[in-house]
Amino acid sequence: MSEVIKGSSTRIKFEGVFDWNELYSMITGWVFSKKFDYYERNNVKKAGTYGYERELKAEIERDESGYVKHLLVIHIHAYHIEDIEVSENGHKKKKNRTGMMTIELSPSVELDWQSKWDKKFKKKARDFMHKYIMHGYVQEQLDKIYYEMYKLQTKIKEELKMEAKYSAY
């Protein structure tokens, strides 16, 4: 059985006008351009008391080697959504949405994802190797997916036209 090491997650809170379809296509475009595999676990639209809600939960993963896999969970929860029409320069009317949104990105690294070290003796050797020999390598891989997560966070903030659109990195 593989071992999953989780990294620090990040959260974006947003309230204002947004285009759900543009945000969704930007995220999936970024995922495929970085050669990740995309698995959508949940994509729900439901009526609420004040407007409607959208919830998207997706997992993206990329094989770094035969032993290490990068994982990133994207969870978007938008609520109090109302459809509006926005005019740009007084000419064109465009349909958008207004509401509140929380976007959470959670990175992790999966070791021995092919379960080659699951036998009794190999499992003990694998645990020893992870703890003492590969500790620096594992942290390096966790840093790689962490910085990729911040690049995605910056892209999302740019798409939402947030003022503080640049991340710490």
Q: Distance (Å, rounded) from C-alpha 142 to C-alpha 110? A: 10
Q: Distance (Å, rounded) from C-alpha 22 to C-alpha 79? A: 17
Give per-residue pLDDT as tens, 46-105: 987 888 999 999 999 999 888 889 999 999 999 998 888 877 777 766 778 889 999 999
Kindly report the pTM of this predicted structure.
0.85
Closest CA to 21 of 62, 87, 81: 81
pLDDT at 116 exceeding the cut of 80: no
Can you give the pLDDT at residue 127? 75
The CB density around residue 30, as the number of other CB atoms within 10 Å, is: 17
User: What DSSP element (H or E) covers 16?
Assistant: strand 10-18
Averaged pLDDT score across all residues of the chain: 87
